[in-house]
Chain A
């Protein structure tokens, strides 16, 4: 049994809004091992980002979070602000989707990178600058000294995302949480960022939680995949197992819905009828039932629990299977 770096148990998140409660995440459990890349896939509104944000207590006050988040032996849910501050950025750090809005437009890149380093490490300005140069070099930004003197608008989207990753790596974190890190980027730039994340894992041994809606990104980088639907885990398996033997009808639907190379010869795309359900109330049945070709009486009356149907392959469905 390998040691567990991050252990999330029965995490539920509820938002109290003017229109009533929204159950964004329902009894979600995750484990992350050192050096592992865990992919969390799902469509908009499935709760993947909320899960990640709740790990570090980054949700607004309207959120009620229950369950447990154990990081390296300490509980993070309900931990004091000062404790969380020590974990955030230093041991678990974040990279967000929007490299355009994550940097402050009125400060030079160097100042923003220095700030992160000085905030977390007891170093002089000069040492911080040296570390900043080292970091920009680590993420393969050409001519880093010049870049440090530039403003965010002078950098392209890909460069800004590299700067964000550099800042996230400033304190050599154990876990990097990347929320749609390549979604806003062009194809050729995206490939470079994925290569960089792969290198970070290999060279620094950082574990990565990779949140994305793109099955291609997961296929490229993840070791293990969790598929989320309507705030719940629908399926979890090692990456090769999941793509080769998907069990949940939703996963199978997603895989059939993406056009892929040779698309023209592969016939029609598979459609998933209907739409993602509203999360206003937790249904007392399988959340996917109204879109599922396999739904029967049981699907409409009970919530399927997660169970292992193949070795190391869990699925929340009454009628799992590849066909």
Chain B
């Protein structure tokens, strides 16, 4: 973004509310799934969107892809406002973004061969026909590490990892500038996850697409993303470049999340201190007033009563693109530390 080029994706003040209970008793109950989220993705950048279940991360992805109709806000893709375009109006823009879903079992049509699945977007956009189409499909299979013969098979004949590769090939078939990946590896076995993550990393450096990578797993996000946004209950609470976020998390929620992630190393895992958050994520039907994290924040007493009355805005606290939404984190002063990061885990040395 600093190079002044136009962002591939710009999301401003995105809101998605779901109305539930159409009956008389429940009418007017609203789930505040996403409540004012803004971010942008530069060309070639991978932005990780992390959060626990119910944080609204998937809803953001679906809104960007217009699988959900946003309640408010704007979504600009390559500079074009696509927020409220009709299905027809959206069609030319569909080429520029594609989504890979979490579940490789339900996101492929069981009645189509894998080759037809991968070729469908190319066919629909009229980009190639017959032998050219066939050639492109073979090429795509090759680029995601699938034997080209597999294009004659049906999805049920493939393993989970292979299916996810088909999903990836389909998404990349029309050379989109933005790939939305919604937990693409969380349904896969550990040994298979690694190869899909490596593949995504290779393809990204080869093809240069931007990516919105949605995940609950911090280590996966650290492996793949350039910048990370942390969501909590429909809001972004912190955004920072990857190294900065993992080395110097500032928001208490981010700190808690990082400290709770399990390390596959018993020496490290058993000596590090962790913050166990009290209680559960509150209901998005009646989110807490003021700061949404205050009901679980270990430092709530320090920011009360502001925490209840005032919503902390997301502001740049370093001047170098580290944005935090917390009353206790200010520009020019150190963020409160919930735990001392263990030296092995902290990345770059402190300034």
Binding site for B on A (CB under 8 A): 43-44, 142, 156, 158-159, 186-192, 195, 213-220, 239-240, 243-244, 253-265, 268-273, 275-276
Contacts and interface: CB of A to CB of B under 8 A. Distances in A.
B347 interface: yes
Nearest to A222: B266
B261 A187 contact: yes
Interface of B: 52-53, 159, 161, 189-195, 197-198, 201, 216-220, 222-223, 242-243, 246, 256-257, 260-270, 274, 276-277, 279-281, 344-345, 347
Contacts of A186: 52-53, 216, 281
A243 B265 contact: yes
Given A261-B345, A263-B219, A272 B191 contact: yes
A244 B268 CA distance: 12
B222 A43 contact: no
Contacts of B276: 188, 191-192, 195
A237 to B, nearest CB: 11
Given A187-B257, A191-B260, A195-B276, A272 B194 contact: yes
A243 B264 contact: yes
A254 B222 contact: no
A67 B266 CA distance: 33
A43 B219 contact: no
A270 B260 contact: no
B194 A260 contact: no
A275 B161 contact: yes
Contacts of B218: 187, 261
B220 A259 contact: yes
A188 B191 contact: no
Given A156-B280, A263-B222, A271-B195, A276 B189 contact: yes
Given A259-B220, A264-B223, A239 B266 contact: yes
Nearest to A192: B276
Given A190-B260, A264-B242, A243 B266 contact: yes
Given A188-B52, A191-B260, A257-B193, 16 more contacts: A142-B279, A186-B52, A187-B260, A190-B260, A191-B262, A216-B263, A216-B264, A219-B263, A244-B267, A258-B194, A260-B219, A264-B243, A269-B198, A269-B223, A271-B191, A271-B195
B151 to A, nearest CB: 19
Nearest to A182: B262
A261 B263 contact: yes
A44 B265 contact: no
A271 B198 contact: yes
Contacts of B222: 259, 261-264
Residue from B189, B191, B257 with most neighbouring chain A CB atoms (10 Å) = B191
A171 B222 CA distance: 44
A195 B275 CA distance: 11
Contacts of B270: 219-220
A219 B191 contact: no
29 contacts: A43-B190, A43-B191, A159-B280, A187-B218, A188-B276, A190-B260, A191-B274, A192-B277, A213-B189, A213-B190, A216-B262, A218-B266, A219-B262, A244-B267, A257-B191, A258-B190, A258-B194, A258-B219, A259-B194, A260-B264, A261-B219, A261-B345, A263-B220, A269-B197, A271-B194, A271-B195, A272-B194, A275-B161, A275-B192
Contacts of A156: 280-281
Contact of A259 (B219, B265, B268, B347): B219
Nearest to A184: B53
Nearest to B296: A188
Contacts of A218: 264, 266
A254 B191 contact: yes
A168 B290 CA distance: 40
B163 to A, nearest CB: 12
A215 B219 CA distance: 13
B262 A217 contact: yes
Contacts of A260: 219, 263-265
A219 B269 contact: yes
A215 B264 contact: yes
Contacts of A255: 264
A265 B188 CA distance: 24
Q: Which 9 A/B pairs are nearest by Cβ-Cβ distance?
A: A216-B262, A257-B194, A215-B264, A263-B223, A186-B52, A272-B191, A269-B194, A259-B219, A191-B260
B224 to A, nearest CB: 8
Given A213-B189, A270-B194, A261 B280 contact: no
Contacts of B267: 240, 243-244
Contacts of B347: 262, 265
Max chain B CB contacts within 10 Å: which of A213, A264, A270? A264
Contacts of A276: 189, 191
Contacts of B217: 259
A16 B216 CA distance: 38
B326 to A, nearest CB: 17
Given A220-B262, A260-B265, A272-B194, A188 B277 contact: yes
Most chain-B CB neighbours within 10 Å: which of A214, A218, A260, A261?
A261
A101 to B, nearest CB: 17
Contacts of A219: 262-266, 268-270
Contacts of A244: 267
Contacts of B264: 215-216, 218-219, 243, 255, 258, 260
